[in-house]
Every structure is written in C-alpha cells, then in structure tokens.
C-alpha cells in the first residue's frame, strides 16, 4: 500500500564558526517529529542544510585568507558532524553551494523575471553588513539596525526587485482560508498587523557589491540576494528546476517548515509570495518556535552567551539533552536555558522517574524470580487503572505531537511513568515476596510494570532514540518490537519474560558540584531560573507608597498601569511539594511566560490546558515555592474557592484587555 508522505524541513543554517545549543533546538524538534511520523508509517522526507552565500561569508573567508568555498566546506563538515552526534535522522542535506541548487535558483530567478514579478531598478537605503539587510529610514531603531543594533551605512546600487507588494491581499486571504498555516496563531496576527497592514514594499533580490552568491545568469554582475537563494532550497532539494523532479512531485508541498520566530516573516510572507508568483502550491504549515535565551537575552554568538552542544552531549549523553530541550520549553515559546534546570530535569525525570523504574523492576525480577517471571497470574482491580492509563497514553501523545506540543507529549509519557512508580508503592512487591502464596500476584505486578516500561520505551523513541532500544533490551525485546502501534496494545510481552539488567541509564548528578564544573568548563554562567524575587520589605514599601484616594477609588491612569492580556495555556503541571500551586506555561503573544497560580485545589492541569485566560502582564516576577512566576491569572473568589476567568477561545493570545 502506498504510504502517505510527510515532508518536514528545518531552516538552512548559516555556516558560522560553531553552532550553539539554540541551533540544535530546532533540528532536534524536527527530528523528533520526523521520527514520530516514520514510526506512524509515513513516508518521511526530512530536510536540513546550510545557507552558504552572502557578503558576511565572503568577508570572513577573506580575513582567513581562504576562498569562500574552502571556508564553508570546513564549517559545514562540522555541522554535519554535530547532527550525527545529535542522532539527527535527516534524509537529505542541502548546501546552497550545491550545483543543482545554484542552477535551479537561476531558473527560478529567470522565470520570475520573465513573468514580470522581478524587475530592475535602484536600491537606496540603509545597509547593515553583519545582517546583510537593507532598511528604510523608518525601520531603523535609533538610527541603527533594528535587528542587531549595529551601525548601518547609506547605500545605493542597481538591483533587481521582487514585486512583493502585489501579493499583500492574496497573502491575507490565504491565511484566512488556511487556518493553521501559521502557528502559533499569535504569529499570524503579528505578520498581518506588523508587516502586511503597514504596507509591503517590493523586495531587493540581487546585489552587485559582492560576488559570493548565485550569479543572475542573464545579468551576471548581479548575484541573487539571500532570500530567493535560501528559501528556494525547500524545493530545489527535491529536484525542482532540475531534469529529475520526481522527489518534488512526491513530497511537495511540505507539511511543515519549522523555523525560529525571527524568520517566520520570511517564510510566511516572502516565500509564499514567491511560490504564488511561480504558480506553485504553498507549504501546509510554518511553525515558528521560540528561542533559547540566557538571562532573558537570545543566545547568540555575538553576545558571547552561547552554550556548546558538544560539551553538553559529551557530559550527559545526547538523549538527555534532546529530552531537556523538548521537555523544558513549551514549543513555540522562548525558554530560559540554565545549567540548573538541565541538571534538575536529568535528576528528577530521567534518573529518578525513568531510570529508577527500569532498574527497580529489573532488580526485583532478579531478586524474586532469578530474572524470569513464572507464567502464573493473579489479577487485582488495582491493575485496571494502570492498564487503561498505559493504553490511553499513546493517543494522548499523538494528540499533542500533532499540534507540535512536544513538552506536553512528553508530559503524557511521564504521567504513565509516575503512575507506574506509584503502582510499585501501592502493590508493595517486597511484601508480596515474603508470602509464598502471593507468588502469582507478585509475577503479575512485575509483568504489569514491564508492560508499562515497554509502552513508555516505545513512546519516548522520537525524543530519545538511543535510550528506547536499551530499555527494550532489558525486557528481551529488539528492533521489531519498536513499533508505534505496539504502544497501543497491552500484553505483548511473553508471560515468562526474562529481564536483562543493563547499564544505569541516567546516573544521578550532584547538582552543586556539577554546576561549578560546568560553568568552569563552558565559561558561561547561565544563572538559575530566578531572575527577580520580591523581597517582603520592598513589597510592603510599595504598598505604603502607592497613592490611592482614601476611599480606594483609583483614576483611569492608575488602572491603565495594569497591563492585562489574553493568554493561552500551553501546558500546566503541579508545583512539586505544594497542594495549592499549579505552574502554567502561557502563550501571551509576546514570546510566552510562566505563571504560578494557587488554584490546584479547584483545577486539575488537564482542565487548564488549552484554555484562554486573562493575565496581569506587567507584574513584577516573584518566586512561589522556588518557582518563578511572571504575572498572575485572574480568578473570581466565590466563598472559599476560586473561579478562573476563562475567555472565549476565539480571543487571540496577546490581545490587550481593557
């Protein structure tokens, strides 16, 4: 039977000296998605690559005394090595310096020119050399580049232009007709309000001031400038514009372009307009993820705050890093990277929850049955809840994966892992082992544990591809057992399962010692999650000095100081060791935030996820039970209980509330 296709792409990376963990974030996410779809039986095409042209590269190569090609070859080899280390399962790797790409780009450029969508004119504007971007006077921020804040220079040159302005209405109509084309939804609003509504200008698509690029074949003093070259990779990699476009016919349109939030604009405005001009179908979805930030700022080489992915992988293993990246940060939002958060996740989720479950179960099977379970069984009503959770988990994971909510998907698997650990405490195998008459019950308990471990091991495969086979091996299972469908079935292990105790999957880490060593090794102080704590004294002083009228009436100006916004709850989990607090990750249309709310007595996390709430957005961050809360959500007090104010689901995240 012919399989459905699934085509997923990452951006193509600039070959800067070294990629950092922020770059790896996008590729790991795309890899998890590609692996998930393959396991579900799709014919997957997963593309990544490098974006190698431009003035910056030309200058760097010059400074090093090598040709641009020599310069990029070296770095690209390192990038490929990094993806091997990260277990990235890309099917293709495109380099914009590949011959077939360059030829196809020339064809695309010529076609657009012949159709009248590209025309020759003059460009005059402010140019930022490091960003390779022209800016208009009004786009500048304090006279500097609005992206990087560096100096810009006045520049004028003959250039070709793409008629982007012509496509404004068609783009907005396309977004309307294809809900879900841009995700998260807040990014669609951003595109319309910040870029399309103010007016799209035609786009400069050629340069004459440098030569490291694809030459315009009918006017070779021009090279194709950045975006037409880079964006076309998604189709040229499939053979578009070549003699053999069978892959293009098979896989295009792509199912997902996964990109960082700062390049959503190029992928949802420029790229669709180019495709419309070429008369080609548009990708089905562009998903703009958030950034890994350190201390509130984007991790980037120019800021010197980058974390080296190789150091982390060598120290903790690739799967721990992959897990951390996709579990810690709700996909779509920015997430603060801290060494502390990383080590906590490894200790709590991987060493304690998962690692312990596997080693305890193997240990007990060894101790009580010499490693092989007897065939006798004795069921108990207690087992039913565990079994039904185990069987539900796959569906729940699928629901979140299909929405690219990796963190929630992992949370579902960890719910099963935690419930299984709790089952050990409830059934007390050590007590059963003391009673000869309870042997069948004991074997049943261990079998149920093994089944839950088997199911969890299959489900973690897209995220932790080298850990799952190791776990399955402890149950005597191999590659043929690693199928997604088998995670939805109970009782696949043989009754007389033999356990094979393996290595300790995730050794526990001594936090204090580790953080010191890690900071010494990387030279980067990531700090802890806490950025600000409200000191009780300061809070009191604030109360005393706030000027309100004696009768408690405030002016409209006072009220206007409170910024209220609509926010969508992306994920929610209890705060450890607290009966009252829930930790919520919110899409607030501004990059996301975390809020801790004292509503755990009245709401379960499941009741909160997906809802839209009102958040006080300019509240000073505070720490509750050691967890940072950046704002508060509004709730009505009714007697002793709280009723959260839920907004209509149609209210987009980020909408101002007045």
Taking every pair of Cα atoms in the chain, the longest distance, rounded to a whole number of angstroms, is 91
Which of 6, 8, 12, 104 contacts ligand MSP by CB under 6 A?
12
145 is in an annotated binding site: yes
231 vs 460, beta carbon nearer ligand MSP: 231
259 binds ligand MSP per the rule CB under 6 A: yes
86 binds ligand MSP per the rule CB under 6 A: no
What tokens were used for 99? 């011959």
Q: Whole-number minimum distance, CB 49 to ligand MSP, in Å?
A: 9
Which of 191, 235, 292, 329 contacts ligand MSP by CB under 6 A?
292
128 is in an annotated binding site: yes
> Which runs of consecutive H residues, i.e. helices, occur in 18-137?
21-39, 55-64, 68-85, 99-114
User: Which residue stretch of 257-265, 321-329, 525-533, 615-623 sits at the interface with ligand MSP (rule: CB under 6 A)?
Assistant: 257-265
- Long-range contacts (CB closer than 8 Å, 24 or more residues apart) made by 358-362: 358/453, 358/471, 358/474, 358/502, 358/505, 359/501, 359/504, 359/505, 360/424, 361/424, 361/446, 361/449, 361/450, 361/453, 361/499, 362/474, 362/499, 362/500, 362/501, 362/502
Which of 6, 7, 23, 592 contacts ligand MSP by CB under 6 A?
23
Q: Whole-number minimum distance, CB 42 to ligand MSP, in Å?
A: 23
**N- to C-terminal Cα distance for the chain?**
56
591 vs 652, beta carbon nearer ligand MSP: 591
Answer yes or no: are the C-beta atoms of 87 and 465 closer than 8 Å. yes
User: Which residue stretch of 110-118, 255-263, 338-346, 463-471 sits at the interface with ligand MSP (rule: CB under 6 A)?
Assistant: 255-263
Strand ranges, E, within 164-312? 182-183, 203-204, 206-207, 223-224, 256-260, 286-289, 292-294, 297-298
Neighbours of 120 (CB within 10 A): 13
Which of 6, 7, 14, 135 contacts ligand MSP by CB under 6 A?
14
**Cis ω on the peptide bond leading into residue 425 (within 30° of 0)?**
no
Find tokens 């064809």 and name the residue: 107
Exposed/middle/buried for 87, CB within 10 Å: 0-12, 13-18, 19+? middle
- Segment holding 420, helix H or strand E: helix 406-427
291 binds ligand MSP per the rule CB under 6 A: yes
How far apart, in whole angstroms, are the C-alpha atoms of residue 311 and residue 308? 6
96 vs 597, beta carbon nearer ligand MSP: 96
Q: Whole-number minimum distance, CB 258 to ligand MSP, in Å?
A: 8
Answer yes or no: are the C-beta atoms of 357 and 417 closer than 8 Å. yes
254 vs 459, beta carbon nearer ligand MSP: 254
570 binds ligand MSP per the rule CB under 6 A: no
230 binds ligand MSP per the rule CB under 6 A: yes
User: Which residue stretch of 10-18, 82-90, 396-404, 583-591 sits at the interface with ligand MSP (rule: CB under 6 A)?
Assistant: 10-18
Q: Whole-number minimum distance, CB 333 to ligand MSP, in Å?
A: 11
Q: Whole-number minimum distance, CB 234 to ligand MSP, in Å?
A: 7
Answer yes or no: are the C-beta atoms of 90 and 48 closer than 8 Å. yes
Closest CA to 209 of 147, 155, 161, 128: 155
Q: Whole-number minimum distance, CB 29 to ligand MSP, in Å?
A: 10
Classify strands 335-336 and 292-294 as parallel, antiparallel or unpaired.
parallel
Closest CA to 587 of 628, 631, 626: 631
User: Which residue stretch of 225-233, 385-393, 438-446, 607-615 sits at the interface with ligand MSP (rule: CB under 6 A)?
Assistant: 225-233
300 vs 571, beta carbon nearer ligand MSP: 300
- Residue 557 φ then ψ, to 5°: -65, -40
Q: Whole-number minimum distance, CB 334 to ligand MSP, in Å?
A: 8
User: Which residue stretch of 177-185, 200-208, 230-238, 356-364 sits at the interface with ligand MSP (rule: CB under 6 A)?
Assistant: 230-238
Q: Whole-number minimum distance, CB 630 to ligand MSP, in Å?
A: 19
299 binds ligand MSP per the rule CB under 6 A: yes
Which of 231, 424, 477, 570 contacts ligand MSP by CB under 6 A?
231
**Residue list 44-63, contact with ligand MSP (CB under 6 A):** 51
Find tokens 């699928």 and name the residue: 398
User: Which residue stretch of 23-31, 68-76, 108-116, 550-558 sits at the interface with ligand MSP (rule: CB under 6 A)?
Assistant: 23-31
Which of 6, 7, 22, 181 contacts ligand MSP by CB under 6 A?
22
Which of 6, 7, 8, 13 contacts ligand MSP by CB under 6 A?
13
Closest CA to 44 of 99, 85, 2, 7: 7
483 is in an annotated binding site: no
How far apart, in whole angstroms, are the C-alpha atoms of residue 232 and residue 214? 12
Strand ranges, E, within 178-265? 182-183, 203-204, 206-207, 223-224, 256-260
- Residue 24 φ then ψ, to 5°: -65, -30
User: Which residue stretch of 172-180, 291-299, 315-323, 504-512 sits at the interface with ligand MSP (rule: CB under 6 A)?
Assistant: 291-299
272 binds ligand MSP per the rule CB under 6 A: no
- Interface with ligand MSP (CB under 6 A), residue total 21
183 vs 398, beta carbon nearer ligand MSP: 183
Exposed/middle/buried for 557, CB within 10 Å: 0-12, 13-18, 19+? exposed
Nearby residues of 206 by Cβ (< 8 Å), 6 or more positions away? 159, 160, 216, 219, 222, 223, 224, 225
Q: Which residues pair with 566 in a beta bridge?
A: 614
Which of 8, 11, 48, 359 contacts ligand MSP by CB under 6 A?
11
145 vs 299, beta carbon nearer ligand MSP: 299
Q: Whole-number minimum distance, CB 231 to ligand MSP, in Å?
A: 5
What tokens were used for 142? 């304090």
Q: Whole-number minimum distance, CB 495 to ligand MSP, in Å?
A: 48
**Residue list 164-223, contact with ligand MSP (CB under 6 A):** none
Q: Measured at CB, which residue is nearest to ligand MSP?
A: 260
Which of 263, 442, 443, 515 contacts ligand MSP by CB under 6 A?
263
How many whole angstroms from its chain centre is CA 482?
A: 24
DSSP class of residue 525 equals -
DSSP class of residue 262 equals G
Which of 213, 260, 272, 309 contacts ligand MSP by CB under 6 A?
260
How far apart, in whole angstroms, are the C-alpha atoms of residue 224 and residue 109? 8
User: Which residue stretch of 73-81, 130-138, 168-176, 228-236 sits at the interface with ligand MSP (rule: CB under 6 A)?
Assistant: 228-236
User: Which residue stretch of 5-13, 74-82, 127-135, 248-256 sits at the interface with ligand MSP (rule: CB under 6 A)?
Assistant: 5-13
User: Which residue stretch of 144-152, 202-210, 254-262, 427-435 sits at the interface with ligand MSP (rule: CB under 6 A)?
Assistant: 254-262
Residue ranges of the annotated binding site for Zn(2+) are: 128, 131, 145, 148
Residue ranges of the annotated binding site are: 128, 131, 145, 148
Residues at the site binding ligand MSP, with contacts judged by CB under 6 A: 11-14, 22-23, 25-26, 51, 230-231, 233, 259-260, 262-263, 291-292, 298-300
């Amino acid at each position: 039977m012919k399989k459905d296709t699934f085509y997923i792409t990452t951006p193509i990376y600039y070959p800067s000296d070294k990629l950092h963990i922020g770059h790896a974030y996008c590729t790991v996410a795309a890899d998890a998605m590609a692996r998930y779809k393959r396991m579900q039986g799709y014919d997957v095409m997963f593309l990544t690559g490098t974006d190698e042209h431009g003035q910056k590269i030309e200058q760097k190569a010059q400074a090093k005394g090598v040709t641009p090609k020599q310069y990029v070859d070296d770095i690209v080899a390192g990038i490929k090595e990094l993806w091997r280390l990260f277990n990235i399962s890309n099917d293709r790797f495109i380099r914009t310096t590949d011959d077939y790409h360059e030829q196809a780009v020339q064809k695309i450029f010529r076609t657009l020119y012949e159709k009248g969508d590209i025309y020759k004119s003059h460009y005059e504007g402010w140019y930022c050399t490091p960003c390779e971007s022209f800016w208009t006077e009004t786009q500048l921020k304090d006279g500097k580049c609005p992206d990087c804040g560096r100096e810009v220079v006045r520049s004028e040159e003959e250039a070709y232009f793409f008629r982007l302005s012509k496509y404004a209405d068609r783009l907005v109509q396309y977004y309307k007709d294809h809900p879900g084309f841009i995700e998260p939804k807040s990014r669609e609003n951003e595109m319309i309000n910040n870029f399309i509504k103010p007016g799209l200008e035609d786009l400069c698509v050629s340069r004459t001031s440098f030569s490291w690029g694809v030459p315009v074949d009918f006017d070779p003093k021009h090279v194709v400038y950045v975006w037409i070259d880079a964006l076309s990779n998604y189709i040229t990699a499939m053979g578009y514009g070549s003699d053999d476009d069978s892959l293009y016919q098979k896989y295009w349109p792509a199912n997902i372009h996964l990109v960082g939030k700062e390049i959503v604009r190029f992928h949802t405005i420029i790229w669709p307009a180019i495709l419309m001009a070429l008369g080609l179908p548009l990708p089905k979805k562009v998903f703009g993820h958030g950034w890994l930030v350190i201390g509130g700022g984007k991790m980037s080489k120019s800021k010197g705050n980058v974390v080296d992915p190789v150091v982390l992988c060598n120290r903790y293993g690739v799967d721990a890093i992959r897990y951390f990246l996709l579990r810690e940060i709700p996909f779509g939002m920015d997430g603060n990277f801290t060494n502390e958060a990383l080590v906590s996740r490894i200790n709590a989720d991987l060493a304690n929850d998962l690692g312990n479950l596997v080693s305890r179960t193997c240990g007990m099977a060894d101790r009580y049955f010499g490693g092989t379970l007897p065939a006798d069984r004795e069921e108990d009503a207690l087992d039913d809840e565990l079994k039904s959770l185990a069987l539900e988990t796959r569906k729940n994971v699928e629901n979140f994966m299909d929405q690219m909510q990796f963190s929630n998907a992992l949370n579902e698997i960890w719910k099963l892992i935690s419930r299984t650990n709790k089952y050990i405490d409830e059934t007390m195998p050590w007590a059963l082992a003391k009673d000869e008459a309870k042997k069948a019950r004991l074997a049943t308990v261990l079998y149920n544990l093994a089944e839950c471990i088997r199911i969890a091991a299959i489900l973690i495969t897209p995220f932790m591809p080298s850990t799952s086979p190791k776990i399955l091996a402890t149950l005597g299972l191999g590659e043929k057992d690693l199928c997604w469908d088998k995670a939805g079935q109970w009782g696949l292990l043989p009754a007389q399962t033999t356990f094979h105790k393996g290595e300790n999957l995730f050794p526990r880490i001594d936090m204090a010692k580790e953080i010191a060593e890690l900071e010494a090794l990387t030279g980067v102080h990531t700090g802890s999650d806490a950025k600000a704590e409200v000191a009780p004294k300061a809070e009191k002083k604030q109360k005393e000095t706030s000027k309100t009228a004696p009768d408690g009436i405030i002016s409209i100006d006072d009220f206007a100081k409170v910024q209220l916004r609509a926010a969508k709850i992306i994920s929610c989990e209890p705060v450890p060791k607290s009966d009252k607090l829930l930790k919520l990750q919110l899409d607030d249309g501004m990059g996301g935030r975390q809020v801790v709310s004292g509503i755990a007595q009245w709401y379960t996390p499941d009741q909160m996820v997906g809802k839209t709430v009102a958040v006080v957005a300019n509240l000073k961050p505070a720490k509750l039970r050691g967890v940072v809360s950046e704002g508060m959500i509004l709730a009505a007090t009714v007697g002793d209980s709280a009723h959260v104010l839920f907004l209509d689901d149609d209210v987009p995240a980020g909408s101002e509330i007045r």
